[in-house]
Amino acid sequence: MWNLLAGYCGLISLCQPAFIGLGGYTLVILAWIGVPLYQGLIAGAIVAALFAVIISIPVFRLSGIYFAVGTLIVPEVLRIIFLIWRPVGGVLYGKGAGYAVKGATLVSTMETYWLALIVCICSVLLIRFILRSNLGLGLAAIRDNPDAAASSGINVFKSKFYSFVISAAITGLAGATFYISQGFIEPTSAFNVKWTMILMLSTVIGGIRIEEGPAVGAIIVVILHFLLARYGGVSLLIQGVILVAIMLLAPQGIVGSIRRAGTPRPYHALVRLITRR
């Protein structure tokens, strides 16, 4: 979803942690009042999308680096709000509105895995559908030259708005799925900048503006996560250095470099088999 915004739409959005946290908290709150987890997943996506609609009013007045800075503030504001607000109530231990996900212990690791895999596959197929639709063609034109796209009759605001809301919904759904596995949520980690770093690393390392890029990058980021776990807080700095190095040495990412080398791409054959295209 971040690849859709930054790669295909030209929107460097840094508020994805807000959607992840909102998706997770929506799931937790609804679980505490007895709503089934699968309904909480859907509600998390809806709440994230509605929040994206609300914040799009002020942030879409900004552009370029100002848009990035404006969206960066959003997760921090939500973190402070959720540190003060107790959405479920009751006695809390420690600082902030931290809660266990009620009913998450009844969901096995295998079930969570298949749920996450379904969300992953659906998001990939959704990206493929969007890029081959009129919306995708409009996004490509906007990315290359917004003024020329507008003069050609493309509604720049609507195209960016639709992409922003779709990205928020799927990110919120992924966040809710993650917290079923995590079993616990609290504001500092839910609205943490580390999520932005993970998204950027996965997309840039794999290859921005390439469909399979973030998937390949995500595999590498997970491996780095385990390798760098021993370094604690310094690991985020190390990941940042790796991100800058990749952008300088291989700006097209791993998949982009492989394409330039002329290596066959089995991913495309697999996607064509699934979508019958």
The answer to whether residues 7 and 87 belong to one domain is yes
| Structural domain count of the chain | 2
Please check whether residues 136 and 264 belong to one and the same domain: no
More confident residue, 97 or 59: 59
Question: Residue holding tokens 């290859």?
Answer: 207
Check: CB of residue 46 under 8 Å from CB of residue 169. Answer: yes
Residues 105 and 8 occupy one common structural domain? yes
Angle between helices 109-131 and 266-275 (to 10 degrees): 90
User: Which has the minimum average pLDDT: 42-56, 114-128, 238-252?
Assistant: 238-252
Same domain for 182 and 270, yes or no, is no
In angstroms, how far is the first alpha carbon of the chain from the final one?
A: 22
Q: Range of 128's domain? A: 1-192
Q: What is the pLDDT of residues 62-111, one digit of tens each?
A: 888 889 889 999 999 999 888 877 665 555 444 556 788 888 888 888 99
In a shared domain, residues 104 and 184: yes
Q: Are residues 179 and 242 in the same domain?
A: no
User: Which one of 158, 192, 226 terminates a domain?
Assistant: 192
Per-residue pLDDT tens digits for 199-215: 888 888 888 888 888 88
* DSSP structure class, residue 228: S
Distance in angstroms (rounded) separating the CA atoms of residues 236 and 107 = 31
Domain-ending residue, one of 138, 170, 192? 192
Q: Please tell me whether residues 1 and 107 are part of one structural domain.
A: yes
Res 262: pLDDT: 65
Same domain, 130 and 242: no
pLDDT confidence band for 275 (50 / 70 / 90): low
Q: Are residues 105 and 141 in the same domain?
A: yes
Are residues 97 and 23 located together in one domain of the fold?
Answer: yes
Report the pLDDT value the prediction gives residue 42, as an integer from 0 to 100.
94
Least confident range of 145-159, 162-176, 218-232, 250-264 = 250-264
Q: At which of 192, 210, 225 does a domain end?
A: 192
Q: What is the pLDDT of residues 109-148, one digit of tens each?
A: 899 999 999 998 898 899 889 988 888 888 888 877 878 8
Q: Domain check: are 183 and 202 in the same one?
A: no
Say whether both 215 and 250 belong to one domain: yes
- 190 vs 20: CA distance, rounded Å: 7
Q: 163 and 9 in contact (C-beta within 8 Å)?
A: yes
231: which DSSP letter? G
CB-hemisphere CA count at 13 Å for 203?
18
